[in-house]
Amino acid sequence: MTTIRESTLPHLIHRGKVRDTHDLGGGLLLMVATDRISAFDVVLPTAIPNKGAVLNQISAFWFRETAHVAPNHFVAPAAERADELDIPSELARRAMVVRRAERIDVECVVRGYITGSAWSEYKSDGTVGGVPMPSGMKEGDRFPEPLFTPTTKAEVGHDEPMTMDEVEEMVGPDTAARLSDITKSVYTFAHDYALGKGIVIADTKIEFGMIDGELSLIDELLTPDSSRFWDRSGYEPGRSQPNFDKQFVRDWLSGQGWDHEPPAPELPDDVVGRTRERYEEALQKLTGSAVA
């Protein structure tokens, strides 16, 4: 099975934790989802075969499905334009053509259920994102309504929590309010859709940019990289949930005693294989399609 750790196409303008972006000219970009995987904001030395193709298909699916909720940068899967783009088929499977945007440097995190760092904060302080929560919550409980808990967008190192005041200082009160409202609306739509497909989307992070003066969704959308996908059939508050995302990788890394700072340890073959299976199952459940 082919594994692509990085794109070698020309006109590279950005290499992120997972995506490599190339300038196509005319206000268009080619965004390649590689098979790199990150955890705790660190890119791991081991790649996951086929992961980029899965992420690309899931993002394209959600960009289409949520276009009525918010505009986005998606133009077309690269595979539909492989001849004119003149790129190898393995890269085309992992890429999409998008419109260039002026990125807003806020990670728009929305939480529907208490887990991860939110659960850690709640156990310690009784709050999530600094906001007091009801007493007696259990790990995995659903919040009465989705919570917007933004963070910084760090190129290297760890993202840090932001208050709404800090977001307003960065982008202005009106845009900050719209970031919160749109993020929660996209999440609510996707959560309800996925629930019918057997997946609980516990939380996700969304990125935005300005395209022709319009606030638009960019980068990836509602993937197992950017979200927690739980198995609805096994969902039960009060414990760790069976999942279709990279929590399996996080759990393995935490069990190695790693301090979450580079360099990260290599992943063993069984962890790589089981992670790939989880991602492909998420794609199948959500879209009804296997990885192309």
Residues 3-60 pLDDT 10s: 999 999 999 999 999 999 999 999 999 999 999 999 998 999 999 999 999 999 999 9
Q: What's the whole-number mean pLDDT along residues 138-152?
A: 96
CATH number of the domain that residue 237 is part of = 3.30.470.20
> Do residues 238 and 126 share a domain?
yes
> For residue 5, what pLDDT is reported?
97
Instruction: Judge whether 283 and 291 are in contact, CB under 8 Å.
Output: yes
pLDDT mean across residues, the chain? 96
Is residue 157 predicted with pLDDT exceeding 70? no
DSSP 147: E
> For residue 44, what pLDDT is reported?
98
CA distances in angstroms from 128 to 142, 187, 188, listed in the order given? 13, 18, 19
Find residue 38's DSSP bridge partners.
43
> Do residues 34 and 114 share a domain?
no
Instruction: Judge whether 110 and 147 are in contact, CB under 8 Å.
Output: yes
| Enclosing domain of residue 240 | 103-247
Write out the DSSP string of 179-243.
HHHHHHHHHHHHHHHHHTTTEEEEEEEEEEEEETTEEEEES--S-TTTEEEEEGGG--TTSPPPB
Determine the Cα–Cα distance for residues 47 and 35; give it in Å rounded to an integer.
5
> Do residues 162 and 75 share a domain?
no
Q: Which residue has the higher pLDDT, 36 or 248?
A: 36
Characterize the bridge pairing of strands 199-211 and 227-231: antiparallel
Confidence of residue 69 (pLDDT cuts 50, 70, 90): very high
Confidence of residue 167 (pLDDT cuts 50, 70, 90): very high
> Do residues 202 and 95 share a domain?
no
Confidence of residue 1 (pLDDT cuts 50, 70, 90): confident
Residue 260 lies in a domain: no
Instruction: Judge whether 34 and 6 are in contact, CB under 8 Å.
Output: yes
> Do residues 211 and 139 share a domain?
yes
Is residue 237 predicted with pLDDT exceeding 80? yes
Residue 255 lies in a domain: no
> Do residues 243 and 108 share a domain?
yes
Reading the block at residue 262, the tokens are 């580079």
> Do residues 69 and 28 share a domain?
yes
SS3 per-residue string spanning 17-43: CCEEEEEEECCEEEEEECCCCEECCEE
Q: Is 116 left (phi over 0), alpha (psi -120 to 50) or beta?
A: left
SS3 per-residue string spanning 68-87: CCCCECEEEEHHHHHHHHCC
> For residue 225, what pLDDT is reported?
96
> Do residues 113 and 37 share a domain?
no
Percentage of the residues of the chain whose pLDDT score is greater than 70: 99
Longest CA pairwise span in the chain (Å):
58
Confidence of residue 149 (pLDDT cuts 50, 70, 90): very high
> For residue 115, what pLDDT is reported?
96
Residue 283 lies in a domain: no
Is residue 156 predicted with pLDDT exceeding 70? no
> For residue 249, what pLDDT is reported?
96
Domain total for the chain? 2
Residue 140 lies in a domain: yes
Task: List, for residues 173-201, the tens digit of each pLDDT value.
Answer: 999 999 999 999 999 999 999 999 999 99
> For residue 155, what pLDDT is reported?
67
DSSP 62: H
Reading the block at residue 289, the tokens are 């399609």
> Do residues 125 and 61 share a domain?
no
> Do residues 115 and 243 share a domain?
yes
> Do residues 140 and 216 share a domain?
yes
Residue 111 lies in a domain: yes
